[in-house]
Amino acid sequence: MEHLSLDRIFHHLHSHPETSWNEWETTQYIAATLERYSCDITTFGDCPGVVAEILEGEPVVAVRADMDALWQEVEEAFCANHSCGHDAYMTIVIGVFFALADKQEELNGTVRFIFQPAEEQATGALKMVEKGIVDDAAYLFGLHLRPYQELGHGTFAPAIQHGAARFIRGSINGEDAHGARPHLNVNAIQVGAELNQMLHHMEVDPAISHSAKLTSFHAGGTTPNIIPGKADFTLDLRAQQNAAMQTMADQLNNITSALQTYHGNEIYLDIESDVAAAVIDEQARSIMAEAIKSSVGTEQLKPEIMTPGGDDFHFYTIKRPHLKATMLGIGCDLKPGLHHPNMTFNQSVIPDAVTILKRAILTALAQE
């Protein structure tokens, strides 16, 4: 069967971005693209997402692509925007599907293609886990474009050591007061300033990369003689190891408790999303390294990537420890950087990424 051009697929996905949990048209497009082939396709009534399988039986080897775009300002207007490469991941995994669908008679086992929603909110992988789509899988492969500072164009890494990330919404609750009577309330802006200062004095092992920072703070209105008693804020916590993240979380709770005791107001924290640090399987990493070497050459194989960025891919292995998993790092001259509204990358890398993932899947099928 003649396949759709991967360039055409990428252009469609790039031109039709959808934000987390809104990827309904993307779901329909992927399902329609794959349903022409001999495969089983599953979609879900309560959320976007597509799971496609070719062949049946064991072992089960899965590959995952995330679907959602970011909501950000692009050329002075807010819109959905694929600035993290998810359009590329879907295209590459569809390319792997095409390549293996043509060779089903050579396969032994099941290959499962997971198109997952809501990675940017760090909740999509957990939803897929709840649906049991990796319960019987032996291997799981993912992929991620890397900025030019990390990987040169056409080079690949067999694993990405993502860090843990936690995104928190908080509020400071109190009463407003007249600007001439500051003794009658607690200034929420002052509490926020003290919170910001104390975040920089957390005691975490300096050998482990970590950071904690306020990413937004909103207090008061347009009237300058009112001292605000209430504020809303967000926090971004990062740590290269899950244990370090727990240390930071415990200290954040101590900080807010101390501020509440000192000022007598209330501070609420709500974890909006929580991304685990990577748990990489050595056998999966080895399979990916060999796939890189056999596909594009030994000189194109680079060491594992260490990054403070996060990805909810790693919830699959946290929640299902039997999974042997790793992510392919793809060097593609990505500039200026991930999540930049004008991010670009060299799309000529897509066919090589397809070949590498196809080889990794074939090798994993033969391992079991």
Share the mean pLDDT of the chain. Answer: 96
Residues 113 and 197 in one domain: no
d(CA 26, CA 67): 7
Mean pLDDT by 10 residues, the chain (368 residues): 88 98 98 95 98 95 98 96 98 97 89 97 95 98 97 98 94 97 96 97 94 97 96 96 94 97 96 89 98 98 92 94 98 98 98 98 92
Q: What is the pLDDT of residue 1?
A: 64
How far apart CA 364 and CA 324 sit, in angstroms, is: 10
Among 247, 275, 303, the domain-final residue is 275
* Residue 219: per-residue pLDDT: 97
What CATH number corresponds to the domain at position 264?
3.30.70.360
Angle separating helix axes 282-296 and 350-367, nearest 10 degrees: 130
Centre a 10 Å sphere on the Cβ of residue 331 and count the other Cβ atoms it contains: 24
Find out whether the peptide bond into 321 is cis, omega within 30 degrees of 0: no
Q: Is residue 355 included in any domain, yes or no?
A: yes
Q: How far apart are CA 41 and CA 33, in angstroms?
A: 11
261-274: per-residue pLDDT in tens?
999 999 999 998 88
Burial of 43 (0-12, 13-18, 19+ CB in 10 A): middle
- Show the domain range for 262: 164-275
Residue type, 366: A
Position 69 scores a pLDDT of 98
For position 133, which CATH number holds?
3.40.630.10
Question: With contact defined as beta carbons under 8 Å apart, do 41 and 34 qualify?
Answer: yes
Residue keyed to tokens 């992988």: 125
Q: Are residues 310 and 190 in the same domain?
A: no
Whether residue 44 sits in one domain with residue 79 = yes
Domain check: are 61 and 158 in the same one? yes
Distance separating alpha carbons of residues 33 and 83, to the nearest angstrom: 23
User: Which spans in the chain are helix H?
Assistant: 6-15, 24-34, 86-101, 124-130, 188-199, 242-263, 282-296, 315-319, 350-367
Residues 111 and 237 in one domain: no
In which region does residue 136 sit, left (phi positive, over 0), alpha (psi from -120 to 50) or beta (all else)? alpha
Domain count across the chain: 2
**Does residue 171 fall inside a structural domain?**
yes
**Which of the listed residues 251, 275, 299 is the one where a domain comes to its end?**
275
Question: Do 234 and 223 share a structural domain?
Answer: yes
Whether residue 335 sits in one domain with residue 345: yes
Same domain, yes or no: 260 and 295: no
**Residues 264 and 288 both lie in one domain:** no
What percentage of residues in the chain have a pLDDT greater than 90?
92
For residues 131 and 170, state if they share a domain.
no
Residue 1 counted as domain residue: no
- Which of 275, 307, 335 is the C-terminal boundary of a domain? 275
Give the pairing type, strands 164-173 and 266-275: antiparallel
pTM of the model: 0.86
pLDDT of residue 274: 87
Calpha distance 141→113 (Å, rounded): 10
Whether residue 159 is found in the same domain as residue 252? no
Token couple for 48: 């976007």
Q: Write down the pLDDT at residue 282.
A: 97
Angle of helix 6-15 relative to helix 86-101, nearest 10 degrees, comes to: 150
